[in-house]
A and B are shown apart, each in its own frame.
Chain A
Amino acid sequence: MSTLTLNRRDFLKVVSVAGGGLVLGFHLLPKETDAFTPEVAGSFKPNAFLSIDTSGKITITVAKSEMGQGVRTSLPMIVAEELEADWTTIDVKQAPAHPNKYGSQGTGGSTSVRTSYENLRKAGATAREMLIAAAAQRWGVDPATCYAERASVIHRANGRRLSYGELAETAATLPVPASPRLKDPKDFTIIGKRMPQVDNPSRVDGTAIFGIDVRVPGMLFASIEHSPVFGGKVARFDATRAKQVPGVRDVVQIDEGIAVVATNTWAALEGRDRLDIQWDKGQWAEQSSENIWKTFEETAKKPGTEERKVGDAAAALASAAHKVEAIYRAPFVAHATMEPMNCTAHVRGNECEIWAPTQTPQRAQTEAARVLSVPVENVTVNVTLLGGGFGRRLLADYVVEAVKVARAIGAPVQVIWTREDDMRHDFYRPSTYNVMTAGLDKNGQPVAWTHRIVGPSSRGIVTGGSTPPYAIPNIYIDAHIIDTGVPIGAWRAVGPSQNAFMIESFIDELAAAAKKDPFEYRRQLLKEKPRLKRALELAAEKAGWGKPLPKGRARGIACCESYGSSIGEVAEVSVDRHGAMKVHRVVVALDCGPVVNPQTIEAQMEGAIAYGLSAAIKDEITITGGGVAQSNFHDYAMLTMSEMPAVEVHIVPSTEAMGGIGEPGLPPVAPAVANALFALTGKRIRKMPIRAEDLQGEG
Chain B
Amino acid sequence: MASITLTINKKRHTVDVDPDMPLLWVIRDVIGYTGTKFGCGRALCGSCTVLIDGEATRSCVTPVDLAAGRTIITIEGLSPDRTHPVQIAWMEEDVPQCGYCQPGMIMAVAALLDRSPNPSENDIEATMAMHLCRCGTYNRIRRAIITAAKTPQPGSGSKGGVR
Contacts and interface: CB of A to CB of B under 8 A. Distances in A.
Interface of A: 67-70, 196-197, 199-210, 212-213, 215, 221, 246-247, 263-267, 270, 336-340, 385-390, 416, 418-419, 599, 603, 606-611, 632-634, 638-642, 644, 646-647
B76 A599 contact: no
Interface string B80-96: 00100001001100111
Contact of B142 (A610, A633, A640, A641): A641
16 contacts: A70-B97, A203-B102, A205-B82, A206-B36, A264-B21, A265-B25, A338-B132, A387-B100, A599-B94, A603-B140, A606-B139, A607-B97, A609-B136, A632-B44, A633-B132, A638-B132
Given A201-B91, A419-B41, A603-B94, A338 B129 contact: no
A419 B94 contact: no
A200 B97 CA distance: 8
A634 B42 contact: yes
Nearest 5 CB-CB pairs, A to B? A206-B35, A610-B136, A203-B99, A387-B100, A68-B98
A611 B35 contact: no
A213 B34 contact: yes
Contacts of A642: 125, 128-129
A267 B34 contact: no
B30 A206 contact: no
B137 to A, nearest CB: 7
Interface in B67-115: 74-76, 78-79, 82, 87, 90-91, 94-103, 106
A669 to B, nearest CB: 11
B34 A196 contact: no
B100 A210 contact: yes
Contacts, number: 187
B123 interface: no
Contact of A68 (B32, B97, B129, B140): B97
A197 B139 contact: no
B33 A206 contact: yes
B136 A204 contact: no
Interface of B: 1, 17-18, 21-22, 25, 28-30, 32-42, 44-45, 47, 74-76, 78-79, 82, 87, 90-91, 94-103, 106, 125, 128-142
Nearest to B40: A419
A206 B29 CA distance: 15
B103 A206 contact: yes
B61 to A, nearest CB: 12
A628 to B, nearest CB: 16
Given A607-B135, A610-B136, A638-B132, A338 B18 contact: no
A388 B41 contact: no
A388 to B, nearest CB: 5
Contacts of A270: 18
A212 B135 contact: no
A648 to B, nearest CB: 10
Contacts of A221: 29
A607 B99 CA distance: 13
A638 B134 contact: yes
Contacts of A70: 97
A197 B96 CA distance: 8
A219 to B, nearest CB: 9
Given A338-B135, A387-B37, A611-B135, 19 more contacts: A68-B97, A68-B99, A199-B96, A205-B35, A209-B34, A210-B100, A212-B37, A215-B34, A265-B25, A265-B28, A337-B100, A338-B98, A338-B100, A338-B133, A390-B134, A633-B44, A640-B138, A641-B125, A646-B139
A339 B138 contact: no
Nearest to B125: A642
With most chain A CB atoms within 10 A of its CB, the pick from B1, B42, B98 is: B98
A388 B139 contact: no
A640 B140 CA distance: 13
Contact of A388 (B34, B82, B87, B134): B134
